[in-house]
Amino acid sequence: MHKSLPARFAVLLLVVFLAVPAVMAESPEDGPEIGAKPPEKPQLTNEQVQEIKQIYEQIYELKKQLIEKYQSFGILEKDKAERIIDQMEKRHERLKKNNYIPMHGKKLRKRNKSNSPDD
């Protein structure tokens, strides 16, 4: 009985080391297939773009007013307020350029790198 204990232990270790990676492997449903086309960029109608544009314009103006109000109350310094508004303007321009469809994550970082003046 004592002689078979190391053999049983070795078999148990072998099963664990082979079974765990097999269980943890990705199933095909977890991600896109290799060589699969990326999902197409969503398209908006002109009417939809105009609706979203109006909302973004309102948001932009309200945020700008808020930053200016913080500056007038002395919470933000003038240069800090100007930098914030400048960044808001840049983001707003990117949204316009992309037809008011926001970009997130890797796409945005990749696009910003390709548009950087250092290239």
Q: How do residues 79-110 score in pLDDT, each as one tens digit? A: 999 999 999 999 999 989 988 888 776 555 55
Q: Are 60 and 93 in contact (CB under 8 A)?
A: no
Nearest to 92 by CA among 52, 60, 115, 58: 60
pLDDT, residue 58, reads 96
Give the integer Cα–Cα distance in Å for 116 and 10.
Answer: 57
- DSSP classification of residue 37: P
Q: Where are the beta strands (DSSP E) in 1-119?
A: none
Write out pLDDT tens, residues 23-65: 666 565 656 667 677 677 778 899 999 999 999 999 999 999 9
What single letter denotes the amino acid at residue 100?
Y
Model confidence band, residue 15 (pLDDT cutoffs 50, 70, 90): confident
Q: Taking CA 75 as the corner, what is the angle to CA 74 and CA 78, rounded to the nearest 5 degrees?
A: 65
pLDDT of residue 69: 96
